[in-house]
Amino acid sequence: MIKHLIFDLFGTLVRVDNSLLGVNLEEFWRHGEKTWMREDVPEQERLVDFAKEHGVSYKELCENFSLVEKSASMIPGMLALLKELKHKYQLHILSNAGQTTKQVVLSQPAFAVFDTITCSYEIGAVKPEKEAFTAVLKKVGARPEECVMIGDSLHADIRGAQEAGMRAIHFDADEHSLDDLRHFLLQNDIL
């Protein structure tokens, strides 16, 4: 029986304007997976290495990163759906986010609907690593078969959850509508 719904953050619940970053996004996220997504150190301190390696201004990179985080907005209509789901399930977030993201984005009042919020830097594991998912299971006191992961990344969210024994629903807010998400939830006997 499903008791817990675990959501990814970016691309699933929230959109950001990554174009504001001004650097190669793939390289930036790969760097983050090795450093600030994994460790309890503010991202801005970890951006020093990236800036040096890629010949960009550290100050400008920090300012741009701050602008990206401030651009975060919940998908229109998502909060109403979450409140509806809250009547039946415990809601959680598992994100490959760093410390400032938790402070800037996840501290917004809309996120109070979640029972737990777990960021990779807190657990030292990054999705799709099985340890990221087992850390959430342990935190919420659940078995894998009681959980469904909902995320936009087939690699990090879906494959990772399935390898940890959870059901998973692929929802990419850039490709799907909120009606699509409702349909996916209905197909999985969740809504």
Which pTM does this prediction carry?
A: 0.93
Tell me the pLDDT band of 2, cut-offs 50, 70 and 90. Answer: very high
d(C-alpha 113, C-alpha 157), whole Å: 21
**Average pLDDT of the segment spanning 50-72:** 90
d(C-alpha 36, C-alpha 46), whole Å: 6
Is the Cβ–Cβ distance between 97 and 37 less than 8 Å?
yes
d(C-alpha 102, C-alpha 95), whole Å: 9
Statement: residue 43 has pLDDT above 90: no
Around Cβ 74, how many Cβ atoms within 10 Å? 16
Note the pLDDT of residue 70. 87
Statement: residue 161 has pLDDT above 90: yes
Better-scored residue on pLDDT, 18 or 94: 94
Note the pLDDT of residue 184. 96
**Average pLDDT of the segment spanning 62-69:** 89
Tell me the pLDDT band of 102, cut-offs 50, 70 and 90. Answer: confident
Which of 19-33, 133-147, 164-178 has the least mean pLDDT? 19-33
Hey, where are the domains in the chain? Answer: 4-15+73-187, 18-70
Is the Cβ–Cβ distance between 133 and 166 less than 8 Å?
yes
DSSP category for residue 189: T
Statement: residue 101 has pLDDT above 90: no
**Average pLDDT of the segment spanning 31-60:** 86
- Which strand (E) or helix (H) includes residue 29? helix 25-34
Statement: residue 137 has pLDDT above 80: yes
CA dist 24 → 12, 44, 55, 61 (Å): 21, 17, 12, 12
> Is 4-15+73-187 assigned to CATH 3.30.1540.20?
no
